[in-house]
Amino acid sequence: MVTFVDHVTLHLKAGHGGNGCVSVRREKFKPLAGPDGGNGGHGGDIVLVSDPQTTTLLGFHRHPHQSSDNGGPGMGDHRAGGNGGELELAVPIGTVVKDADGVELIDMSEPGMRFVVAEGGQGGLGNASLATTKRKAPGFALLGTEGWEGDVLLELKTVADVALVGYPSAGKSSLVAAMSAAKPKIADYPFTTLHPNLGVVETGSVRYTIADVPGLIEGASEGKGLGLEFLRHVERCSALLHVLDCATLEPGRDPISDLDVILGELAAYPVPEGQVPLLDRPQLIALNKIDVPEARELADFVKPDLEARGYRVFEISTASHEGLRQLSFALAELVEDSRIAAAADPKPAKIVMRPRAVDDAGFVIKVEGGTHGNVYRIIGAKPERWVQQTDFTNDEAVGFLADRLAKLGVEDQLFKSGAVSGSAVVIGRGNGVVFDWEPTLTSTAELVTSPRGSDPRLEGQRRRTSNQRREEYFELMDAKAEARAELVREKEAGLWADEDEL
């Protein structure tokens, strides 16, 4: 079954950042000449680009899983890893991007708009970038962080100047084909049109687009038929054209009742905040299929009643093209007036600035009850990223993480939250990284096997030289000789005597 895809869920996975490198430069006569580990490359972003040449989301419906390249790892000799390639996804103009919870992220209503929907991971720093005056030879590097992974919703809302609305088989697709070069599917059964058809019309010096919105029946705004799926495509149109079937053979239907039903459905459909309600927009009426004699008579009969309601009414035939020229010029006039009004009252771009609060520490601590006491969970962008960058098999890297957390003020906040020695602390959501907190340690330098800021590989030789061993030997012999002389003096002074002399 052929279906029109105007909303799709994308499963995105941005590239991970590359790990930093731990390396020590080695030259002739300089076996340990300092750290030279390069940084890891950044993971590739996934970017949505509004493209005028793209008209459907069908490609994403068939391939919903999209991923970008990972960053390369750092290397020795200060060589940085390559950045992952950026992945660009072309979407039609009028695509609304929402997160997994349905919150709108951006409305890509203009051509050429770019939106980073999934940010790549950050590359880790090599030990050369971590070297400071106090840590001259770091024996560790930072790991690359993971790229964003999750789902986003794409919803297409057709961008057209005029929307054709009406009952199924009223002749909307035929009108699009008659007024433009579009070739939609046309048949004599209801719901032939399964997706909005777009057509470009040139009338005089005005060029505008028309869209056929299919499937409007009574109850469409409540989910009946196909109307609810496609009513969203009416939101962006500046004018409405009601196409009424004057040759219908269904009992209980006539142009007046059809119009009332469609108006009721349009009134029941809520438009986004800030947009003009559908019924407040300019509207025209086209009485279609007047090439049929009975339909012409019916059109002549109902036209005065419709004009009495304030509508401009045109009798047309998509088969013989009768009345299409007058209708085309009337639509062009509405579109031109709408464009002039929009140009005279442009909406300034909203610049939203959200400065960081003065009391925002960059993280929060949530106290959660556990089987063996409270668990203190640390949630924040920086702590969570730092944990991802830490190699927990390296003691010096763990000490570096502890120093960063202490500098951020995590320990002070744990004290205020009631944490005591041995309390379980979790960094991150879900399982996270769990450790037992020791408040007496301002850092975990005691866990590092070498002094802070040093590397045992760069320390000097600890073996004694020949001169040192000779000096130590002479000092030992002199000490023994002095001890023997002291015994002799004590014996002569009568402080002690040998057993043979007693």
144 labeled part of a ligand binding site: no
215 labeled part of a ligand binding site: yes
Output b/e per residue, 21-47; b: 16+ Cβ within 10 A.
Answer: bbbbbeeeeeeeebbbbbbbbbbbbbb
316 labeled part of a ligand binding site: no
Which among 2-11, 309-318, 463-472 has the top mean pLDDT?
Answer: 309-318
Four-residue CA torsion sign, 184, 189, 191, 194 = negative
127 labeled part of a ligand binding site: no
* Range with the poorest average pLDDT among 43-52, 195-204, 287-296: 195-204
CB atoms within 10 A of CB 335: 23
473 labeled part of a ligand binding site: no
Task: State how far the alpha carbon of 42 is from the alpha carbons of 39, 84, 124, 174, 334, in Å.
Answer: 9, 6, 8, 52, 51
- 498 φ/ψ angles, rounded to the nearest 5 degrees: -70, 160
Task: State how far the alpha carbon of 403 is from the alpha carbons of 131, 318, 406, 452, in Å.
Answer: 15, 77, 5, 11
What tokens were used for 481?
A: 């000789």
Asked if pLDDT for residue 436 goes beyond 50, the answer is: yes
Give the pLDDT score at 152: 94
Instruction: Report d(CA 316, CA 330) in Å as an integer.
Output: 13
169 labeled part of a ligand binding site: yes
Asked if pLDDT for residue 256 goes beyond 80, the answer is: yes
Question: Residue 47: which of 87, 2, 13, 104 has the closest Cα?
Answer: 87
Give the pLDDT score at 352: 67
SS (H, E, C) 11-26: EEECCCCCCCCCCECC
* Range with the poorest average pLDDT among 9-13, 220-224, 414-418: 220-224
317 labeled part of a ligand binding site: yes
Give the pLDDT score at 147: 93
Asked if 238 contacts 161 with a C-beta cutoff of 8 angstroms, the reply is yes
- 114 φ/ψ angles, rounded to the nearest 5 degrees: -125, 140
Confidence of residue 346 (pLDDT cuts 50, 70, 90): low
170 labeled part of a ligand binding site: yes
173 labeled part of a ligand binding site: yes
* Separate counts of helices (H) and strands (E) for the chain: 11, 18
70 labeled part of a ligand binding site: no
Cβ partners under 8 Å of residue 425, min gap 6: 375, 376, 377, 378, 414, 419, 434, 435, 436, 437
Segment (H or E) for 332: helix 324-344
291 labeled part of a ligand binding site: yes
How confident is the model over 210-223, as pLDDT tens digits?
Answer: 878 765 555 444 44
Region of 362 (left: φ > 0; alpha: ψ -120 to 50; beta: rest) is: left
How confident is the model over 284-335, as pLDDT tens digits?
Answer: 998 888 888 888 898 899 889 988 988 898 998 888 888 888 988 998 888 8
Asked if pLDDT for residue 460 goes beyond 70, the answer is: no
Between 63 and 226, where is the model more confident? 63
Segment (H or E) for 468: helix 466-492
Largest CA distance in the chain: 158
Between 199 and 315, where is the model more confident? 315
For residue 427, count CB atoms less than 10 angstroms from its CB and return exposed for 0-12, middle for 13-18, buried for 19 or more: buried
45 labeled part of a ligand binding site: no
DSSP string for residues in 102-126: S-EEEEE-STT-EEEEEPPPPPPPP
Confidence of residue 157 (pLDDT cuts 50, 70, 90): confident
288 labeled part of a ligand binding site: yes
Give the pLDDT score at 1: 37
230 labeled part of a ligand binding site: no
Asked if pLDDT for residue 230 goes beyond 60, the answer is: no
Confidence of residue 3 (pLDDT cuts 50, 70, 90): very low
Give the pLDDT score at 221: 43
First to last CA, the chain: 125
208 labeled part of a ligand binding site: no
pTM flag (> 0.85) = no
Collapsing DSSP to helix, strand or coil, 426 comes out as strand
Instruction: Report d(CA 146, CA 388) in Å as an integer.
Output: 8
133 labeled part of a ligand binding site: no
238 labeled part of a ligand binding site: no
Give the pLDDT score at 82: 93
Chain centre distance of CA 75: 30
Residue with tokens 């599917």: 185
Q: Running DSSP on this structure, what letter comes out for residue 410?
A: H
CA atoms within 13 A on the CB side of 130: 32
* Range with the poorest average pLDDT among 12-16, 120-124, 165-169, 295-299: 165-169
How confident is the model over 160-194, as pLDDT tens digits?
Answer: 788 888 887 777 778 888 887 655 544 444 444 44
Instruction: Report d(CA 244, CA 318) in Å as an integer.
Output: 12
225 labeled part of a ligand binding site: no
115 labeled part of a ligand binding site: no
214 labeled part of a ligand binding site: yes
Decide the pairing of beta strands 239-245 and 283-288. parallel
